[in-house]
Amino acid sequence: DVKVTQSSRYLVKRTGEKVFLECVQDMDHENMFWYRQDPGLGLRLIYFSYDVKMKEKGDIPEGYSVSREKKERFSLILESASTNQTSMYLCASGLAGVSYEQYFGPGTRLTVT
Amino acid sequence: EDKVVQSPLSLVVHEGDTVTLNCSYEVTNFRSLLWYKQEKKAPTFLFMLTSSGIEKKSGRLSSILDKKELSSILNITATQTGDSAIYLCAVLVRTGANNLFFGTGTRLTVIP
């Protein structure tokens, strides 16, 4: 079974803090994704990566950056957290060319106060 | 701008009822439509639909795509409390990694 894990289930941070969300997958997938999920807005893609050190912006990249130094690990970074970044963050991975079937992690619920 | 819209946003039914969830889309380069079920944790894949008019079925769940109407429905018969979840529709467009657009989801609550 594919396993996608995220470093924290719940996280509370203060405005202005730098926040790291980590995602690890164990299936050697080329593609990895970060989404945020908000009521009434569904899942929105923040960034994705199709290879180590490769990244592309999704629909809402502002205020975020990412890092992929190893194939199995994809990190989402909030350089200076703001209250409007309070959300559920979901990581996903998928095979190149067959990326329709994305496997999701359990999510991190981030609250910025 | 690519858009995926689901309706209703939320739904409460009694066990044993049949429900129909709707997904409509306006996208360029449509390839497939996918349904996911999201309970407390991560979304899990249910169906992928590529051809119009061909029903996909898994137990009490079934889904069909209408490319003419740019829409899909997800049916759940004889609902159970375990069907309570958010049901997400996503549309696959173009090639490449950035290719899934999600709808807002329908929150289904099944009460005993």
Answer whether B100 sits within 8 Å of A40, measured CB to CB.
no
In the numeric block, which tokens belong to residue B62?
A: 């079934």
- Residue numbers of B between 2 and 31 with CB closer than 8 Å to A: 4, 6, 9, 31
Using an 8 Å CB-CB cutoff, list chain B residues near A60.
Answer: none
Q: Which of B24, B25, B102 is best to mutate for the A interface (most A CBs within 10 A)?
A: B102
Cβ separation B102–A42 shorter than 8 A:
yes
Strand partners, B61: B58, B76
CB contact under 8 A, B9 and A40: yes
pLDDT band at residue B9 under the 50/70/90 scheme = very high
Q: Note whether B18 and B76 are within 8 A (CB).
A: yes
How confident is the model at residue A23, as a pLDDT? 97
Whether the pLDDT of residue A71 is over 70: the answer is yes
Disruptive mutation site among A104, A108, A109 for chain B (greatest number of B CBs within 10 Å): A104
- DSSP letter at B41? S
Partners of B34 in the β-ladder: B48, B90
Residues 6+ apart with CB under 8 A from A75: A20, A21, A22, A23, A66, A67, A68
Cα gap A16→B31, rounded to integer Å:
41
pLDDT of residue A100: 63
Mutation target vs B (from A3, A37, A46; most B CBs, 10 A cutoff):
A37
User: Coil, strand or helix: which one is B82?
Assistant: helix
Q: Give CA torsion, residues B94, B100, B102, B107, to 10 deg.
A: 130
Buried b (16+ CB within 10 A) or exposed e, A37-68: beeeebbbbbbbbbeeeebeebeeeeebebbb
- Structure tokens that stand for B97 in this block: 């990694």
Closest listed residue to residue B85, CA positions, set B4, B10, B2 = B10
Residues of B in contact with A41 (CB under 8 A): 104
Identify whether the C-beta of residue B35 lies closer than 8 Å to the C-beta of residue B89: yes
Find all residues with CB under 8 Å of A81, minimum gap 6, and list them. A13, A14, A15, A16, A17, A18, A19, A110, A112
B40: distance to nearest CA of chain A, Å? Answer: 8
The span from the CA of B112 to the CA of B109, in Å, is 10
Average pLDDT over residues A23-46: 89
Could you tell me if A44 lies within 8 Å of chain B, comparing CB atoms? yes
Which pLDDT band, with edges at 50, 70 and 90, does A98 fall under? low
pLDDT tens profile B36-74: 998 876 788 898 898 899 899 999 999 999 999 999 999
pLDDT at A82 over 90: yes
The two three-digit tokens of residue A18, written as one number: 């730098």
What is the pLDDT averaged over residues A12-35?
Answer: 94
Ramachandran quadrant class, A107 (left: phi over 0; alpha: psi -120 to 50; beta: rest): left
B41 to chain A, any CB pair closer than 8 A? The answer is yes
pLDDT of residue B94: 67
Per-residue pLDDT of B10-37, as tens digits, reads 999 999 999 999 999 998 888 889 999 9
Residue whose pair of structure tokens reads 């396993």 in the numeric block: A3
Above 70 in pLDDT, residue A42? yes
Mean pLDDT computed over A27-49:
88
Using CB atoms, pick whichever of B44, B98, B105 lies closest to residue A48: B98
Structure token digits, residue B19 = 């429900």
CA atoms within 13 A on the CB side of A69: 3
Average pLDDT, chain A: 90
Across the range A37-48, mean pLDDT stands at 86
A9 in reach of chain B (CB within 8 A):
no
